[in-house]
Structure formats: C-alpha cells, structure tokens
Structure 1
C-alpha cells in the first residue's frame, strides 16, 4: 500500500508554498503523482476589495478575468516548485467550482488530500471557513493538514497516533500506513480521564500492535491518565514526544445539512503546530 496519487489544494495564501513543498516532498518519498488543484474562486464569490479598478464597465467580467489570471499565476508557481533538481510527476487542474466541492470531487480519485490549516488572520478572500472539516467529512479520503505556522518536514520520523479503539481512529491508522512504514518511531497513545475505568478489551492495544507488526511497523503504546482536556493532553504529549506527525480519527455529525465536527477534533485542528493526518 502506498500513496500513488496525492492531491494538494493550491491558493493565493502565504502558506501555499509551504504546503506545496510538503506535498512535493511526500510525492518524491512515495513515488506519487501529484495533482495541484486550483479553484479559481469564481463561485466562492469573494475577491479583494481593491482587485478591480473603480469605474469599470463590466465588473463581473473584470472579476472573472482577475480570478483566472490569479489562478494561472498560482499554477505557474506550482510548476516551478515541483520541477526542481528532482522533479515530481505532476499535473495542474483549474476549476471554477467552489473550493470545498472541487477538492471533494477531485480528492475522491486520489489517495491523500493535502490541505492547509485554517488561518483566521488571513485575508478576507482566503478559502472558505471550515474547509478542512468539510473536506474530511465528505471526501472519503484521508486528509493531511499542514500547519499555517512554523516549518513542516515531509520526511516523517516520529509519528504520534491518537488511539481510542474507534472506527474513525482505525480508518485513520490504516490510511497512514505508508507514512508509518517509513517512520523511525510510532507511538500509540490512548487517554482516559482520572476515575474512568481501564478498558483493555475495547482498545485491543496488543492486537493492534501485532497488526502493525505484520505490516512491518514496530510500534509501542502508552496509556495516559489525564485531568485536563483531551485535545490539550494529546497535543501536549505529542510535543513532549517530539512528534512530527499526528494521526487521528475525525468525528462529526449532521445538523441541518451542515457537517459539524466534534469538540476534540475542532480544538486539535485549531491549535496544531505539526502536520496531522485525519480521516473519517
């Protein structure tokens, strides 16, 4: 099992170049074909206030032309970054569809979707709010989220797996197998609150470690008894262990046709400082 096709979302934000570098590094490491997907923003309906000169006779046509030129510039930048000394098999897809719809549709014919963490301080015409959870819940593919701050290395060495025996965490761990196989250290961490019962039969930790071993992955596990919030405990422990990737299941439910994430998932996506592979 490997990532034969990786899709990376391209946009005009400052962190796009870091996201492309990360995705390209993954593609090189796994021999993957890399798709750079560029939603133009035409149907997202937001452009910078000063992008179109005042007094133009056809604002809609000028706006569409501005978005198309911006998308083409993003595409050219992507080409440069993946055509270096060690080129990556790649293609570019421009689409006028909304960012969420385009990534979900094109992502379903890939093995992994690479997105950027939402930066609420970004410009007003940045990609739609809630892009990561909506793609994760709808695409049916694992999503790897690159943080908007700091540096992230595509050569993953130390993987932290948030394990709770659930369907979502099992799906995420299986999706992460190509990364786990190349890591030097894999640690499964499961948390329980102080006073809660120990449930080895539900977690099946020994059996899960044996399953990983049969895939050639030597992993260890630990149980943490916590008194603080689970999301904070997981992020803190991952930092203590020097993790450069977290693997976790994503949780959500439907409410009035809107996909809503659970609290732990929301908090981790908001406060992450290292890449996270998340699946539903």
Structure 2
C-alpha cells in the first residue's frame, strides 16, 4: 500500500510540475526596455528566418571606428533582447560590431519558445551574421549568458562554423536535467523525489555538457560567480572539466548571476576584450 501511495504521489507531482518546466527556462515578453539609440549608437533592425521559417528579430550595431570583429550575443531566459542590451552595449565602443537577437516568442520574434526551436534560432543567428557582406566573416565571436550560454554552446558545438574565433560563456547551466533537479531540490517535500522527477519532466537534448568538448579547438572562456543563487557554481566547474583545451575559467569572488559585465567599471569588461583580441590575433590556439 505504501508503494502504491508513493507511486500515486509521484504521478501527481509529475503532472503538477510539468507545467512549471517550460516556465523555468522561458520567460519572454514583448516590452521594450532599452535601445542602442539611448546609448548614442546607430543600429539596424533586422529580421531573419530560423530553420522552420519562423521570423526572428535582431539589432546589428556597427563598431565605433574600424571593426576588430563581430560579437554575437545570446541573451538569458527572461524578457527579451532589449532588457539584456545593457550587458553588451559597451562592446561597439571597444571596436566590435555587435549582433543581438531574440529567440522565437521573445520581443518581436514570431512563434513560441521551445528547446528545439530556440536551438535552431541560435544556429540561424550565427548563419545570418556569417552571411553578411559588411562584416569580416572570419572574425566572429560568441558571447552567451545564462540560458543563452547553453544555446551558444549547443549551436557552436553541434555545427562547424568556420568564421568563429572564440566563445565566452557566463553563468550557464551544465544540463537541462541537472538544473531542473536543482530547482526541484529547493521545494519542500517535492525535493524527496528530485531524481525521478528530473528524468520524468525533462530530457537532456541540446544540453551544454553533451557538446562543450566539441567547442575545441576554439578558445573557450567560462565565467561564474561563486555565490550565484540561480546557477550553482559547480555547473561551471563541470563544464570546464568536460571542455577541451584551449579553455579558461574565471571565478568572480562573491559574484552573483551574470554580473561580470553589468557595471561600467567592471574589470571583466577589459579582460573579455583582451580574451577576444588574443583569440583574433592568434595568440590563443585557434583553428587555421
């Protein structure tokens, strides 16, 4: 009888939690929080198609002065690209073209977010920039934050884009199943069932830990705050262990979630620029 009750409870918990899993990863909205114009930056509003034809929206912001390279930014799971622009708005002044875009269901992009679709959107964003005639297609750089880091690792790891020269990732989770397990573990009573529930509720397709080793021989940079309340620090260490050289890991002491580049005076902005430039100039190991 006890086993039957436990089984019934597990089924009930599974049904109850299934609706929460999508909301854990995707919190899109259509509001406009910021624009490049507010930062005195000219920009081009663009649309491009994902693999299934879903129309996606983005901004292309040219570098101030002669471009050193082009950074493609993959934003986190909440709101839309306009809310995340402050993390990267400083890059054009450092001499980088910048491309930001919204996954399906975010901002002006059509459709509704789901894992396969968002993965295809991420691949499409890289392909779009790689096809633009006004950028040096052999000097592309990737910056992904939180969910965007997972999307970026999956897109680059599962495809061979010849023009990418470095990948920088901040505060992303190692796998979908592991982060769901972590979040279930925070819920009283339900936490007792976190292992079976994590397997029942979510698969691991397009998880970063499955493909992070395929980023090599591109230089990979992983950045994590050791007091991140959203993505536990150990997720970063796990990805670093699985990744191949050349790779770097930056620990932000006392750091929270995706805060490395938020403040204007952050030393990590200059460090990221150095990492990108060293990768572009061949001072780090990169594919020929």
Q: TM-score, normalised by structure 1?
A: 0.27
Higher share of residues assigned strand? 1
Q: TM-score, normalised by structure 2?
A: 0.26
